[in-house]
Amino acid sequence: MLKLIRRFRPIDYVFLALIAGLTVLQVYCTMLLSDYMRDLISSITMVSYGMPGFSENDIWFNAGMMLAVVGGMVGCQATIAILASAITASFATNLRKELNEKINSFSLAEINKFSTASLITRTTNDIENVQMTFLMMMRMIFAAPVTAIWAICKIQATSTELTLTTAAFLIFLLIGLLIIFFLVVPKFKIFQNLIDRINGISRENLSGIRIVHAYNAESFQEDKFAKPNDSLLKLGKFTGRVLSLFDPLITIVMDGISLAVYWLGATLINSGVTNYATVSSFMMLSTQIVMAFMTLLMMFIMLPRAMVSAKRVSAVLDTNSSIIDPKEEKEFLEKGTIEFDDVSFAYPDADNPVISGVSFKAKQGDTVAIIGSTGSGKTSLINLIARFYDATSGSIKIDGVDIKEVNQSSLRKIIGFIPQKGNLFSGTIASNIRFGNPSISLEEMEEVAKTACAYDFINEMEKGFDSPIAQGGTNVSGGQRQRLCIARAIAIHPEIYVFDDSFSALDFKTDLTLRTNLKEKEKEATKVIVAQRIGTIMDADLILVLDQGKVVGQGTHKELLSSCETYRSIALSQLSKEELGL
């Protein structure tokens, strides 16, 4: 919590000082109210008995002062609420922004460490918990102790017997609330973890809804969701039932104090030790003390949950990306070149590397193809080019410079990355193509779309480039989505294209046309293509054959047919000997 408080703005500390001052003023008004109530009751009693020296003016004066004091209390409370809301709203906004920026700086290793569902929960639910607790603290945490101390000092001077009676009930209240506290607090961390789990299952279910429907797996997913949901239900019932003891406990204490004070007060009045006005004033003060203690203990129950949330948020903010930009960036020496030198890579906490000893070179304009069986490390290999992960050993040079010696932003400006799963963002076709190049003109956009074989279907849409795209591109077909992703990459005119099996969603004709367009219009760009179809990579200048993370063959199509048995078997499984020229 303290780490997050350090993120308050300088003006927020000024507001906090004002809240503290207004809180003291509010408590002072509360204490005055009890005094004026005592004087009002005394005035009414004296006037009704016709005591000399007292008149109705005394009643009106005390009543008027009570109204003025209440007005002051209301004004203080309203101002405190406004200031506290301003502080916490700004704090939550800035914290969400900082958390979002931190998450955007993470490599895939950190994203996988926390999980996407957990990061969403931390950005929303956890920050909201912290915000609401801070808001309650600012409105109550100052007022409660000041009220309690001030009221205790006043009642001690009123009556020792009544003070001891109130103290006994406060001890009973304290014991009851502490029992509730220790029963509920350990459940809060479990509560947040269950929310993470539910968010993860919901996200997984929604993203794979077509698979769920296709396999009639609705009941399976419902059962999967039901387990954490039922656990959350049981936890919610338990905490709800325990916390429900608050109301009867407070009722017992408040009514008990009232009964005891009035019973003992009546005895003291009959003995001539005190009067009704004093007893009424004492009753008001004792109520203030009980409410102050209740507020403090309520805060102590809210605080642990907020502390759990604060730790979860701080854990993200304190995590540094495993991929770090250099202190001094080097300039690129060449253009469009790629060099892998004995590169190996293992995922975090993995026992064995997924890539071992990969070496190859590509000149500007070359087409490098990567092929291999499922799980051979193809995607892992190309993820290293854009530095989504860092190689465990060996070096990777782009344009003659080790990629660890240039900033990530500089590196990714020259790389057009097209993932296997086409991912579009909510907006329009134009906004998706402009994603990496906001300044691209409509004419350039049309040319880019033609190169990506997307212009025809865009033109057929009612609004053309202004046609809406749903989140994830769910309102266009897989092939259309993939061509728009390719158009998005072409729009930045990169030096290097990286296609992660991006042609798999395209038919053979579109695949050939698109590769031909790229070869003609982006001939100076180097292309790295991961593919499963031999027909897609036959014309590549260099083909890497991966098997269990190792390069088992390297060369052109013709060279590999005669020198690499793995490549030959893949080729023969797709094309005939005649088609392969064997």
Where are the chain's structural domains? 2-317
Q: Is the pLDDT of residue 249 over 90?
A: no
The answer for residues whose C-beta is within 8 angstroms of residue 370's C-beta and 6 or more apart is: 378, 381, 382, 528, 529, 530, 531, 543, 544, 546
The answer for residues whose C-beta is within 8 angstroms of residue 12's C-beta and 6 or more apart is: 87, 90, 91
Sheet of 367-372, strands arranged across: 415-418, 496-500, 526-530, 367-372, 542-547, 550-555
Torsion 136-139-142-144 (CA) sign: negative
- Cα–Cα distance measured from residue 57 to residue 47, given in angstroms and rounded to the nearest whole number: 10
Q: Could you confirm whether domain 2-317 is CATH 1.10.10.10?
A: no
Asked if residue 410 lies in contact with residue 506, where contact means CB atoms within 8 angstroms, the answer is no
> What is the chain's percent helix, strand, coil content, to nearest 5?
65, 10, 25
pLDDT of residue 233: 87
Mean pLDDT of the chain: 85
Q: Is the pLDDT of residue 368 over 90?
A: yes
pLDDT, tens digit, 9 for 90 and up, residues 351-367: 789 999 999 999 999 99
- The CA dihedral of 163, 165, 167, 171, to the nearest 10 degrees, is 180
417 closest CA partner among 116, 108, 111, 200: 108
Q: Is the pLDDT of residue 481 over 70?
A: yes
pLDDT of residue 508: 84
pLDDT, tens digit, 9 for 90 and up, residues 35-69: 788 788 888 888 777 777 777 888 898 889 989 99
Tokens of 495: 């030096």
pLDDT, tens digit, 9 for 90 and up, residues 437-458: 999 999 999 999 999 999 999 9
370 closest CA partner among 141, 547, 122: 547
Asked if residue 534 lies in contact with residue 576, where contact means CB atoms within 8 angstroms, the answer is no
What value does the mean pLDDT take over residues 318-337?
90
User: Which of the four pLDDT bands, split at 50, 70 and 90, describes residue 550?
Assistant: very high
Q: Which residue has the higher pLDDT, 270 or 525?
A: 525
What value does the mean pLDDT take over residues 205-231?
81
User: Which of the four pLDDT bands, split at 50, 70 and 90, describes residue 158?
Assistant: low
- Cα–Cα distance measured from residue 579 to residue 581, given in angstroms and rounded to the nearest whole number: 5
| Number of residues that this document lists for the chain | 582
Q: Which residue has the higher pLDDT, 473 or 407?
A: 407
Cα angle 507, 537, 515; round to 5? 55
Asked if residue 563 lies in contact with residue 555, where contact means CB atoms within 8 angstroms, the answer is yes
Three-state SS string across 395-429, please? Answer: EEEECCEEHHHCCHHHHHHCEEEECCCCCCCCEEH
User: Which of the four pLDDT bands, split at 50, 70 and 90, describes residue 156?
Assistant: low
pLDDT of residue 155: 67
DSSP secondary structure string, 155-187? HHTT-HHHHHHHHHHHHHHHHHHHHHHHHHTTH
User: Which of the four pLDDT bands, split at 50, 70 and 90, describes residue 543?
Assistant: very high
Cα angle 528, 529, 534; round to 5? 140
| Beta pairing, strands 542-547 & 526-530 | unpaired
- Cα–Cα distance measured from residue 169 to residue 166, given in angstroms and rounded to the nearest whole number: 5
262 closest CA partner among 282, 248, 243: 282
Q: Is the pLDDT of residue 23 over 90?
A: no
Q: Is the pLDDT of residue 181 over 80?
A: no
Q: Which residue has the higher pLDDT, 383 or 268?
A: 383
Q: Is the pLDDT of residue 429 over 80?
A: yes
pLDDT, tens digit, 9 for 90 and up, residues 99-132: 998 998 888 888 888 888 788 888 888 899 889 8
Q: Work out the number of other CB atoms within 10 angstroms of the CB of residue 270.
A: 8
Phi, psi of 210 (to 5 degrees): -65, -40
542 closest CA partner among 296, 416, 360: 360
Q: Is the pLDDT of residue 239 over 90?
A: no
User: Which of the four pLDDT bands, split at 50, 70 and 90, describes residue 89?
Assistant: very high
**Radius of gyration, CA atoms only, the chain:** 36
Torsion 417-418-423-424 (CA) sign: positive
Phi, psi of 581 (to 5 degrees): 75, 30
Q: Which residue has the higher pLDDT, 100 or 294?
A: 100
pLDDT of residue 159: 65
DSSP secondary structure string, 343-399? EEE--TT-SS-SEEEEEEEE-TT-EEEEEESTTSSHHHHHHHHTTSS--SEEEEEET
Least confident of 53-57, 457-461, 464-468: 53-57
Asked if residue 308 lies in contact with residue 192, where contact means CB atoms within 8 angstroms, the answer is yes
What value does the mean pLDDT take over residues 199-209?
79
Asked if residue 561 lies in contact with residue 568, where contact means CB atoms within 8 angstroms, the answer is yes
282 closest CA partner among 157, 170, 172: 157
- Cα–Cα distance measured from residue 420 to residue 501, given in angstroms and rounded to the nearest whole number: 5
The answer for residues whose C-beta is within 8 angstroms of residue 500's C-beta and 6 or more apart is: 378, 379, 382, 417, 418, 419, 420, 530
